[in-house]
Structure 1
């Protein structure tokens, strides 16, 4: 992931919670001392364990609402970074940002990672076909941006600032060729 180098320059221990926690944790592992990945779905964690050989990654079943319990278990100030990749739109972001604060050591922070516009909202014929297929399946038109639109991003920045974090926006442009499996996985993970 092109963003990973600057993300963890100050982190010794990182915590990742999101639908992309397994992938994010694997990217962070070589760059930090330890990673704790969290996901609310047992199947996602089982897959992460199967796909991960890094000895410095631990996995825990839980959701963003479990950060208070995690603070009690680990103790305050234990993490250098908390990452949320591609899932903040499913969470109460204001509560999450406040709950992450006690876990972070001095100089630590929260990183919110998004992949930009969802596949079904892009301006291409195949994206329009995917959007129609998904709309037919769920019975309503699709227009939600999964928190990647400008107003959602501004809300997240304001909430981070209100929770006492310094906000540093980094944008990395990249392109990737996706397999059918990656497209299907990305659509159903949302």
Structure 2
């Protein structure tokens, strides 16, 4: 099963150098029964995109918690063999799940990353993250604006060069 793990450039750098994504437990997003039930008309590709979008949104929360990291959303896409059943309190449409395993780097399929030009939009959303969690309309609008920024796709063999160029702290 494909899972999408929200991250930052620093977390991506750590995972790449450690050879694994962790530590467990990991919050990840996937096509869960709750997501499938919410998007009854969606095909598999649309459902995967919806799960990745939820992971990208969660990445903004990680950016908010780490003001020193570049304001670019990162989503690590990986294949895992088993996914735990959803908790009974899962909301309809929720793709979130908790993985109690460390994911070996060889299971990472790709990384999705904002272009450098998305930094102002993503940065504003990260700055307003707490207000968005409290329902502030302007903050929610800023968070929703991130969805207008496309995430670029990188193969795993491109990640070391990407990190060398951008660096986890945004160094060229």
Q: TM-score range by the shorter chain?
A: under 0.3
> When the two structures are superposed, what TM-score results if normalisation uses the length of structure 2?
0.25
Name the structure, 1 or 2, with higher relative contact order (CA <8 Å, separation 6+): 2
